[in-house]
Amino acid sequence: MEPMSFVLFGATGDLAKRKIYPALFNLYVDDKLPGSFSIVGVGRRAWSGQEFVCSVEQSIREFSRRDAIDQAQLERFLAAFSYAAVDVTKAEAYTPLLERVKQREDECKLPQNRMFYLSVAPEYFEVIAANIQTSGLGSVAGWKRLIIEKPFGRDLQSAEDLNEKLAKAFSEEEIYRIDHYLGKAMVQNLEALEFANPVFAALWNNRHIANVQITASETVGVEERAGFYEQAGALRDMLQNHMLQMLMMVAMHIPKRITAQDIRAQKRKVMEAVRPLALEEVAKNIVRAQYRAGSMGEVPVAGYREEPGVSPTSMTETYIAARVWIDDPFWSGVPFYIRTGKRMKEKSTRIVIEFKNPLEQLYREQQEKTAPNLLIIHVNPQEGIALQLNSKNPANSGKIEPVTVDFSSGQKDVPEAYERLLFDALRGDSTYFAHWNEVRLSWKWVEPILTAFERNIVPLVSYEAGTYGPDAAKQLLQAEGFSWWLDEVEEREPVHR
Ligand SMILES: NC(=O)C1=CN([C@@H]2O[C@H](COP(=O)(O)OP(=O)(O)OC[C@H]3O[C@@H](n4cnc5c(N)ncnc54)[C@H](OP(=O)(O)O)[C@@H]3O)[C@@H](O)[C@H]2O)C=CC1
Ligand SMILES: O=C1O[C@H](COP(=O)(O)O)[C@@H](O)[C@H](O)[C@H]1O
């Protein structure tokens, strides 16, 4: 990996502390950073270099996944850090910043390879990119790259405007749009699961798959983020980006070569084939809901409208479910159901692939009931793959029952999403970053849903906090004769392992 400078805008912020510094430190410990590098933190507050380094150290101690930290190693790592107090909206403030970056390049004998990370509120994305360009920070003899946090726009128009502005300073190949779900091990593993296993590759189409269910349920509520969440809701916060990215990863077809370019081309084809929703069809295909008071386990919790900072008449959705059709020869006729919500019964991100059950009739004649085969990909918080098959249970008179074969690795101390993504960006591998085409097509698909919500064409239903969501989401699947897998597991038929 080439030596470089890492310029972090938003260096005093929450994301930097909780995710970016621990990830960089873990990469350093694993020998996955270049032999020499400099990290220049940019924040608004007038901190000294020493104050900044102390806060970085504190965040590593608090948030690193390492059980033990080697003090000498940590000190060597921290020696790469320096701080620049800069108001990013002021063009003149970039001259001393450029000097600082160059000074560190000289001191550390670094070539002019510069990684810029925008970990600031989205209203600063454009102005920072423009100032990087005009100040000369972006004029480099080596490479330059831009990592940009979400949200990327709040609708199609604003995303296009932002992209146009960024494109004045960075080419598409230089832009790394973070979607941290693409950094999750099991989401990255989808590619290998589909393409490196002929047994699955052969079945990955509408001849064999009945439906696909993608769930990202959270137990947390809106927490301290009402200001942001009231404007975003589950549609902008989760569905437009993370959920559609997972859908693209599941539905893409084997590319000719496993390269970033080819994988992204396949993802684009999926999004291009997703059937657009006409405004009058939104209500039939989308469930919009908000949590009311309930309890998480035994603990009573407030409804969304009672949360601090939330309007008592808020129409913001904290849950959304969608039925998506992909009109290509591989997936036509297979519904993809996606749902995400806050204050749900459990924290679980998973993908369930339900296979068709052509032999059901054969066994029914023998008074036996077979369940469909399921491939379950547990993304978060557990990571693993499970396969539900049918098998005779010798302990139950040889009756056919579903069995689950579990491939959970149970590995601990594996890199976190931000570590993987930072490592990739530093190597110039953009496979697991959102390409502009994907972002644009996602916003395009979401547009009629945004409009339908704004005009209240889709009713906002409520669900009790601590449950699996509204009944309307169950009805969405019932229309095709399906139901959500793994909800209320305890109420289903026994599964032996
Ligand atoms: N926090 C999280 O868990 C997640 C955050 N994100 C995204 O990451 C980005 C950062 O979020 P987060 O860290 O939470 O935000 P914070 O509000 O915690 O931090 C904002 C940072 O921006 C700096 N800043 C604000 N205004 C200026 C200015 N005019 N000039 C220079 N610096 C300025 C702040 O500096 P100072 O403190 O010195 O004022 C601070 O370092 C956002 O785009 C967010 O959407 C994405 C996923 C998760
Ligand atoms: O991007 C976001 O993701 C988190 C959920 O992430 P996870 O890795 O814990 O599944 C979500 O809570 C947050 O609202 C959203 O902005």
Ligand 2: centre distance to CA 75 (Å): 32
Do the Cβ atoms of 138 and 132 come closer than 8 Å? yes
| Ligand 1, CB within 6 Å, residue ranges | 10-16, 43-45, 86-89, 119-122, 149-150
Ligand 2 atom closest to 181 (CA): 8
On the CB side of 358, how many CA atoms lie within 13 Å of its CA? 4
> Rounded distance, CA 116 to CA 314, Å?
37
Q: Is the CB of 215 under 6 A from ligand 2?
A: no
Report the percentage of the chain scoring pLDDT > 90.
88
Instruction: Point out the residues that are catalytic.
Output: 242
Q: What is the pLDDT of residues 38-73, one digit of tens each?
A: 999 999 999 999 999 999 999 999 999 888 999 999
Name the residue of 44, 83, 131 to mutate for ligand 1: max ligand atoms within 8 A of Cβ: 44
Ligand nearest the Cα of residue 341 is 2
CA-CA distances (angstroms) from residue 179 to 270, 279, 439? 18, 28, 10
Q: What is the pLDDT of residues 285-310, one digit of tens each?
A: 999 999 999 999 999 999 999 999 99
Q: What is the pLDDT of residues 274-283, one digit of tens each?
A: 999 999 999 9
Q: Is the CB of 357 under 6 A from ligand 2?
A: no
On the CB side of 78, how many CA atoms lie within 13 Å of its CA? 20
pLDDT band at 226 (very low <50, low <70, confident <90, very high): very high
Ligand 2: centre distance to CA 92 (Å): 36
What pLDDT is attached to residue 491? 40
ipTM of the prediction: 0.98
Residue 123, judged by CB atoms within 10 A of its CB (0-12, 13-18, 19+), counts as exposed
What pLDDT is attached to residue 358? 81
Q: Between residues 336 and 367, which one has the greater pLDDT? A: 336
Helix and strand counts by DSSP (H, E) for the chain = 17, 17
Structural element, H or E, at residue 460 = strand 460-464
pLDDT band at 497 (very low <50, low <70, confident <90, very high): very low
Residue carrying structure tokens 């806050």: 342
pLDDT band at 495 (very low <50, low <70, confident <90, very high): very low
Do the Cβ atoms of 35 and 107 come closer than 8 Å? no
Annotated binding residues for substrate, written as ranges, equal 180, 184, 218, 237, 342, 347
Name the residue of 181, 218, 317, 349 to mutate for ligand 2: max ligand atoms within 8 A of Cβ: 218
Residues 6+ apart with CB under 8 A from 167: none
Beta bridge partners of residue 81, listed in sequence order? 39
What pLDDT is attached to residue 494? 39
| Residue 20: pLDDT over 50 | yes
What pLDDT is attached to residue 399? 86
- In the DSSP assignment, the letter for residue 400 is E
Plot region of 456 (φ>0 → left; ψ -120 to 50 → alpha; else → beta): left
Domains and CATH numbers, the chain: 4-149 (3.40.50.720), 182-479 (3.30.360.10)
Do the Cβ atoms of 332 and 326 come closer than 8 Å? yes
Name the residue of 8, 15, 20, 42 to mutate for ligand 1: max ligand atoms within 8 A of Cβ: 15
On the CB side of 74, how many CA atoms lie within 13 Å of its CA? 16
CA-based nearest residue to 317, from 394, 231, 415, 391: 231
Annotated binding residues for NADP(+), written as ranges, equal 10-17, 44, 87-88, 150
Looking at residue 232, its amino acid is: A
- The mean of the pLDDT values for the chain is 94
| Residue 77: pLDDT over 60 | yes
Which residue owns the Cα nearest ligand 2 atom 5? 218
Ligand nearest the Cα of residue 183 is 2
Report the percentage of the chain scoring pLDDT > 70.
98
pTM: 0.95
Looking at residue 282, its amino acid is: V
> Rounded distance, CA 497 to CA 495, Å?
7
> Rounded distance, CA 490 to CA 298, Å?
18
| Residue 339: pLDDT over 80 | yes
| Residue 142: pLDDT over 80 | yes
| Residue 379: pLDDT over 80 | yes
Q: Is 497 helix (H, G, I), strand (E, B) or coil?
A: coil
Ligand 2 atom closest to 417 (CA): 8
What pLDDT is attached to residue 489? 54
CA-CA distances (angstroms) from residue 488 to 187, 300, 378, 485? 24, 20, 16, 9
Q: Is the CB of 349 under 6 A from ligand 2?
A: yes
Ligand 2 atom closest to 229 (CA): 14
Ligand 2: centre distance to CA 368 (Å): 42
Q: What is the pLDDT of residues 432-469, one digit of tens each?
A: 999 999 999 999 999 999 999 999 999 999 999 999 99
> Rounded distance, CA 91 to CA 73, Å?
37
Which residue owns the Cα nearest ligand 2 atom 8? 181
